[in-house]
Chain A
């Protein structure tokens, strides 16, 4: 069983819960940038959490199914079409042998997730099927999908069409987002005015944003004067090379903050002024070019509470889809 890629869409990749544990040797976790939506798609078609899905950025693929199965599309508002007829998002639906799944134009968000019952089956690399294109690893030959690709799919046992994620548990896609951050590790390098500018600016996502980093425009940050320490570049935004956490926000040249996401490089010499809290990384992943973001400073307790709330929402999702 499997699907044939008729049209690949744009930067469509196989992703899953990721490849944690190798960032220290430069291999990032990868995996779906919006983990919540990706999990919802898997639950809708009766898959395990770790099953692989397709992540479709901005533009959907066209897929030809060569066996009957059950499919769900979640995440961005990317309206599915089965043989040209509309199908719902956040709801599992049946697909017959020979059916063609395609998509209408993106209506909100940035990344849609397609789950198929049994999961998309490609070889695991370091315990994950996620595609890391910069490292040519995972997915289909370590790259984005291409026209003519064949992807095996697993057993459809346990899948039923008509499973629904209730409206309150679906991700919304406003054009403006508030993303919570903890300041640091290098926020001491900002002047008080630079800090105020960072937190007060409505940042606009640029079209270069991708799985590695989300680059924003909107203002220039002022740094404290200093003599560069040995090993640091001369620009005020340079530091002695340091590890880059996923979610850390670097600001090369004091302009254009970049939020690193799941395909990030693991270290470098740019000042990190703040880090997006784990609970809000899915929101970053759904930001599209021209969408605006304000970074909201929170403390560690708030970040942990947000993580707890996210786990609670995931439990609600599991209950809602199972019932």
Chain B
């Protein structure tokens, strides 16, 4: 089942925990409910956004360092139907 991961807050979308790190996830990455998929920066603080469901990342809908709105879809997930 397709599942949309939305940004809870407006801010700057970062795919990596730091400029020199690898991205948190890529298309095809397996994630758990609590897997961090990106950071959103607002009011000089960074907020982790978690997958919210277990599954496989199907698409990433925002560009690195792009400004996103609250409620904007930032990635989609193909959820595990059998819960694995």
Contact = CB atoms under 8 A, between A and B. Distances in A.
Q: Is the interface of A mostly helix, strand, loop or mixed?
A: loop
Contacts of B11: 207, 289
Interface residues of B, number: 15
A57 interface: yes
Contact of A58 (B10, B41, B44, B67): B10
Contacts of B12: 207
Contacts, number: 46
A10 B8 CA distance: 10
Given A106-B71, A290-B69, A10 B9 contact: yes
Nearest to A288: B10
B9 A58 contact: yes
B1 interface: no
Contact of B10 (A11, A208, A210, A289): A289
Contacts of A208: 43-44
A57 B67 CA distance: 17
Given A207-B42, A289-B67, A290-B67, A106 B47 contact: no
A105 B43 contact: no
Contacts of A207: 10-12, 41-43, 67
A276 interface: no
Given A10-B9, A10-B47, A208-B43, A105 B71 contact: yes
Interface string B41-52: 111100100000
Nearest to B8: A59
A199 to B, nearest CB: 24
B15 interface: no
B42 A105 contact: no
A10 B40 CA distance: 12
Interface string A94-129: 000000000001110000000000000000000000
Nearest to A290: B67
23 contacts: A10-B42, A10-B43, A10-B47, A11-B43, A57-B43, A58-B9, A58-B70, A59-B70, A105-B6, A105-B70, A106-B9, A107-B70, A107-B71, A207-B10, A207-B11, A207-B67, A208-B44, A288-B10, A289-B10, A289-B11, A290-B10, A290-B67, A290-B69
